[in-house]
Structure 1
Amino acid sequence: MESNYHTLKRVDNQLIVITHLSQMLSYITGFGGLLVPLILWLTQKDKIEGMDEHGKSIVNFQLSMIIYAIICVPLIFLIGLGILGLIIIGIISFVFPIINAIKASNGEMPSYPLSIRFIQ
């Protein structure tokens, strides 16, 4: 029975890792980085331990990055500050899902910078 628990726990961590990495779909489709984690979180939050916290963090992070990108667009006309902001957002949006996927595989909670808590 104990081996089944560890197998089940590992599978759960793998789905949480996939949820974090699914944010990378934004670089391919432009919008999948919000939709896929949102769907995974909403369908699995009651079935998988830890998915609710991870899902909330991911959705809050993605919504925050979208808002920051929208703010950067008019700032492009102010000495190119918006371009710098978009580059920084792009780097943060690429690096932190990978970092948090690694944390999730180790059973740790995620931490996303500059994340506005829309969903508590």
Structure 2
Amino acid sequence: MSVPPESVVPPPSNGPAVPPSATPSADERQWGLFAHLSALVGLIITGAWFGWGCFLGPLVIWLVKRDTMPFVNDQGKEALNFNITVGIVLLALKILVLITLGLGLLVAIPVGTVVCVAWLVFTIIAGIRANEGVYYRYPFTLRLIK
């Protein structure tokens, strides 16, 4: 006996929600690009020392466009989560340096350099992929905003 396809229940997914099947419009793709690349602009404005501007751009774009554009809602949350994760890692490195009275620089400088280069590369890749209409997922990201 065969089971009709309508009665088959798909297994639960442990990963992110499945994106809608509709292709994002050109406007949504452009705003998705802005959601990712606004982190670069925020970092330039606030400076590398403070670095907290990297999540302000994605936050503003996500808050403004989340109700009207599903693709921007998804990509804005993704960019925001990634930048918050990177901010947490860099803050932990700064605390390590303070606790060890500067000795932690031996670890913080190489690890911080790798994290910053990876942040730049992944942000650019995400912007390009969002502009292509792909629901991009950053690796090593805490999904704090659902």
TM-score higher than 0.5 here? yes
Alpha-carbon distance, 1:57 to partner: 0.8
Correspondence for 2:35 among 7, 16, 19: 19
Q: Choose from 50, 70, 81 the match for 2:71.
A: 50
Q: CA RMSD in A?
A: 1.9
Deviation at 1:78, TM superposition (A): 3.4
Query: How far apart are residue 37 of structure 1 and its match?
Result: 1.1
Q: Which has the higher helix share?
A: 1
Structural mapping, 1:28-107, within 5 Å: 28-30=44-46, 31-73=52-94, 74-75=96-97, 77-78=103-104, 80-107=106-133
Task: State the AA in 2 paired with 1:10.
Answer: A
Q: Which structure 2 segments of 5+ residues have no match? A: 1-22, 47-51
Give the structure 1 partner of residue 140 of structure 2.
114
Which is higher, the Rg of structure 1 or of structure 2?
2
Determine if contact 1:69/1:85 at 8 Å carries over to the other structure: no
Task: State the match for 2:13 in structure 1.
Answer: none
The amino acid across from 2:110 in the alignment is: L
Runs of 4+ in 1 over 6 A off after TM superposition: none
Q: In the TM superposition, what whole-angstrom CA distance separates every residue of 1:50-105 from its partner, at most 9, and x where no partner exists?
A: 11111111111111001100111215623611111110111111111110111111
CA contact (8 A) 2:39 2:55 kept: yes
For structure 1, the residue ranges without an aligned partner over 5 or more in a row are: 1-5
- Counterpart CA distance in 1 for 2:39 and 2:56 is 9
TM-score by length of 1: 0.84
Partner of 1:108, secondary structure, is coil
If the length of structure 2 is used for normalisation, what is the TM-score? 0.71
SS of 1:110 mapped into structure 2: coil
Alignment coverage as a number of residue pairs: 114
Instruction: Indicate the percent of aligned positions where both proteins have the same amino acid.
Output: 25
* Kept in 2: contact 1:22–1:33 (CA 8 A): yes
